[in-house]
Structure 1
């Protein structure tokens, strides 16, 4: 085991809406850090102004377009003994935001990594969704292209845990429609919009109802989407599912996608089901 370097990497959660949610530790870290690496320095300036905090350290940008280039520079500062604070536009860094690369590099360099916990859109949406929260998985943003999104959802169709997604408001209706096709229109969900902000809104219902709501008007603001996990499926043998795969393939779905969808729904091995489908083709 390598000894920790004298520096410290701090990941700090920032408010997802209400500035009053900022913790005293966040204020102190913004004030005292040697380097503040911000996803958007302009938004950081607005935040520090609202908090009446003046950073005493150097402020640098750290976002998806310069993350690879800037990480070595920040690691060098950490190894040299600096305290580097990472903040993103909202919530915890490295959760669908910059931060992971720097954490991994800092760990490799033997630098201590810690966090200033705080607001989280994922956990807030789960808490208010009305859906089971004892087991969940976070999927971030789904692929934008329809085919890639359909394949990703086919893989998740049998997931028993509650699912959490981020989505842009202008893509929400299309994503909800794709979810209804992949999971069934009765699967429950919750659209959580503008969490902790003045116009916070949580819309709950079956996926068909949520599609109709999203298509009825313009959706604005930050959106976190929570979807109920798959119900327990009756046990079925691989051979019994071959016909379902064949029917989906006949309807135009690629064989691998059809296998993934059926296997996910029934909780069987994709490889075993794929082999059974190929074997069925060779039977007289």
Structure 2
């Protein structure tokens, strides 16, 4: 409870991404003992506390993307007054593609202690079950909704060697996978993780081209996409048109057809075949019929 004699504490509390039974024991303790609870969705908070059997005496306020900027000063004032403020989102850890970053930054600047109740994470869960390399990875959050911006973002990641994790809405998953296929190559290994830890959990693994075909049937539920990074050295090859042409020529000299050579070089470079095709056919003397 509020001490009244110094700054309070901001507690970032992870909430279940699926099963309520996955909630860490400390979550119930913090919900019961907080002075203020800032919740992304107060209705979901009510359901959570009911399922956990927790009686809340704290002042509950909404804190979501649309009001995060305006509510942050109010929460900081409460913290400076000595309150223990608990921040929860709909699922997972606050501030990871969810509200929280602004409040944490404000607390750090004001000298307010920030701690966390660790728990469920869609990012780490998807990464762990994907079957893709986990020694190095990066989290890219949600891709831009507009197709042009989305394509440019993915193009900038074509040579990224770390495994990449994305969040996506179910109704935009097909478009996201198509854009990934076009930017990263249809053979790039990936996994679509749907409804993680829930009753209808599904993890679909395969190259992006196959995942696009699978997604044509429609997707429901919360989605996390994991994509393998480019093979080592792809950044150098991808940025050098002469190297791409030389690599294709070397494959052809070894007996491959132009089409086979382009496919192999694209796979090694972690690039779409169309991109390698266009680079090769800009060379003088080549026409589209060569392929």
Normalised by the size of structure 2, how large is the TM-score? 0.80
CA gap of 1:185–1:75, structure 2 versus 1, over 3 A, is same
Equivalent residue number for residue 231 of structure 2: 231
Alignment root-mean-square deviation, CA:
2.3
The equivalent residue for 1:178 is 179
Contact in 1 for aligned 2:36/2:86 (Cα 8 Å): yes
Inter-partner Cα distance in structure 2 for 1:140 and 1:177: 17
CA contact (8 A) 1:194 1:222 kept: yes
Distance 1:151 1:187 in 2: 18
Deviation at 1:23, TM superposition (A): 1.1
Conserved in 2, the CA contact under 8 Å of 1:193 and 1:223? yes
Residue of structure 2 in register with 1:144 after alignment:
145
Cα deviation for residue 159 of structure 1 reads 0.2
Other structure's SS at 1:156 match: coil
- Looking at structure 2, the residues matched to 143 and 241 of structure 1 have their Cα atoms a distance apart, in angstroms, of 28
Give CA deviations for 1:106-147 in whole Å, capped at 9, x if unaligned: 111110000000000000000000000110000000011111
1:47 matched to 2:51: no
From the superposition, tell whether residues 235 and 45 of structure 1 become closer, same or farther in structure 2 (CA, over 3 Å).
Answer: closer
SS in structure 2 at match of 1:163: strand
Pair 46,238 (structure 1): closer, same or farther in 2 beyond 3 Å: closer
Matched, 1:79 2:102: no
Instruction: Name the residue aligned to 1:255.
Output: none
Closer, same or farther: CA 13–242 of 1 in aligned 2, 3 Å: same
1:106 alignment counterpart = 107
CA displacement at 1:234 relative to structure 2: 6.3
The offset of 1:235, in angstroms, is 8.3
For residues 234-249 of structure 1, what are the structure 2 equivalents within 5 Å?
A: 240-241=240-241
Q: Which residue of 2 aligns with 1:221?
A: 221
Structure 1 runs not aligned, ≥5 long: 246-261, 266-284
2:248 aligns with none
Give 1:6 deviation, angstroms: 2.9
Provide TM-score, normalisation by structure 1: 0.82
- TM-superposition CA deviations, 1:217-272 (whole Å, max 9, x none): 12100000000000123685899536979xxxxxxxxxxxxxxxx9x99xxxxxxx
Which of the two has higher C-alpha Rg? 2
Q: How many residues align?
A: 245
Q: Deviation digits for residues 78-129 of structure 1, max 9, x if unmatched?
A: 0010000000000000000000000001111110000000000000000000
| 1:34–1:84 CA contact under 8 A, matched in 2 | yes
Counterpart CA distance in 1 for 2:35 and 2:60 is 9
CA distance in 1, matches of 2:71, 2:104: 13
User: Which residue of the partner structure matches residue 258 of structure 1?
Assistant: none
Q: Partners in 2 of 1:149 and 1:238 — Cα distance?
A: 19
